[in-house]
Amino acid sequence: MVNFDTFNFHLDLDSLPWIMKLNIVFALFFLSLAIIFFISIIWIRIFKIYRNEKKRKQQSLLIDFLNSYLFDEDFDKELEIKNFKENHLRTSLEIKVTIKEILHFHENLKGESAKDLETLFNKLGLVEFTLLDLEDGRWFTTARAINALSELCIEVPNHRIEAYLNESRNEVRQQSQLYFLKLAEEQPLKFLDKTVRPLTTWQQIYIENALKNFYKGPAPDFSQWLYHDLTSVVEFSIRMIARYNQFENIPELIPFLKSKNDTLKREAISSLTNLEHIALLELIIPNFKGNSRIIKLEILNSVEQLGNYEDLKKIGDQLATTDWELRIKYHNIELGFLPEKKELIYSQFMLEKRFEI
């Protein structure tokens, strides 16, 4: 132990106690790391300021260029495109920003303007850049490239995208699914046959959206995927049968009311309800009691949409008094059927609530 009276600084490291050496080594190590990070921060900052400035310039240039291109009849398209290509598509940043901005415009516009943007993308030679990105090998670049291709309906040989349908990365999978969907003339969901990884809710949302807003051909018969290996695909197909009013598929949906899988059962009930299949009620009301909570809630929904007070009463007998969530839903539906008894139902409920009946 070094004593207080030996308080003097040795510059000779060897004579120091080990603990001090260790501390000093650590301190130096931490400080130099901190300095490295500090320099990186400054560097990132300068780099970002510089890049953002360029980005901003390119963006404002593009907003004018694109708007004139789309809406100004006096705009000399050929000449201006040539100009733009020569002067403003020289660095990879300029190209990136341009692709992004055209996509952004395309996202918000449809009809003739959207078509014009697709032509422009081609004429600016951006397709080649996108194809280079596709081959890049890093998943996020690939996903971005596929996104651009599908968004702007640029066709490439199928096999180049097909490989990504079952990629381990969610995002790549999703973009390749959308690619096939958006470019299809018919049979937009053919890719489902080749899909072996579950569809997330997220993907289902985007597939449905693309189906509604991009795909122009005849709606596919969704019943062909009702026996797909993946539950998520079946779930999606059941839902789409209702969204596309495929009444002819109602008989195909009925077996799912007996499904052991609650997700499918629930989806089937909800779809048949949306298809206004009145006969549904007599299939689901008698067995109400034997179901799980989410199915019970769904059945109550169906009664609300399709049934009347008499149907509802048949469920009333099957409700457990302690099942407050279902009871509240029940009474809310009752209120809808019997608006004149509103106060009665409310005070009756509050009374039961107070005594926990």
Binding piece for other proteins, criterion CB under 8 A, among 97-105, 159-167, 188-196, 256-264: 97-105
Q: 264 φ, ψ to 5°?
A: -70, -40
Q: How far apart are CA 355 and CA 357, in angstroms?
A: 5
Is 31 a binding residue for other proteins by CB under 8 A? The answer is yes
- The binder of other proteins chosen from 55, 80, 85, 103 (CB under 8 A): 103
From 83, 95, 3, 112, select the one nearest 54 (Cα to Cα): 95
- The binder of other proteins chosen from 13, 63, 163, 344 (CB under 8 A): 63
Could you say which residues in the range 279-338 bind other proteins, by CB under 8 A? Answer: 293, 324-325, 327-328, 331-332
Could you say which residues in the range 161-180 bind other proteins, by CB under 8 A? Answer: 170-171
Orientation angle between helical segments 18-71 and 77-88, nearest 10 degrees:
170
How many residues form the binding site for other proteins (CB under 8 A)? 78
Q: How far apart are CA 202 and CA 174, in angstroms?
A: 9
Q: How far apart are CA 151 and CA 121, in angstroms?
A: 11
From 268, 274, 272, 263, select the one nearest 201 (Cα to Cα): 263
Structure tokens belonging to residue 57: 């310039």
Is 22 a binding residue for other proteins by CB under 8 A? The answer is yes
Binding piece for other proteins, criterion CB under 8 A, among 12-20, 125-133, 156-164, 312-320: 12-20
Is 153 a binding residue for other proteins by CB under 8 A? The answer is no
CB of 327 to other proteins, least distance (A): 8
Q: How far apart are CA 124 and CA 90, in angstroms?
A: 12
Q: How far apart are CA 16 and CA 6, in angstroms?
A: 12
Pick the closer one to other proteins by CB: 47 or 227: 47
Pick the closer one to other proteins by CB: 202 or 282: 202
Q: Which residue has the tokens 């495929």?
A: 246
Is 111 a binding residue for other proteins by CB under 8 A? The answer is yes
Is 67 a binding residue for other proteins by CB under 8 A? The answer is yes
Is 208 a binding residue for other proteins by CB under 8 A? The answer is yes
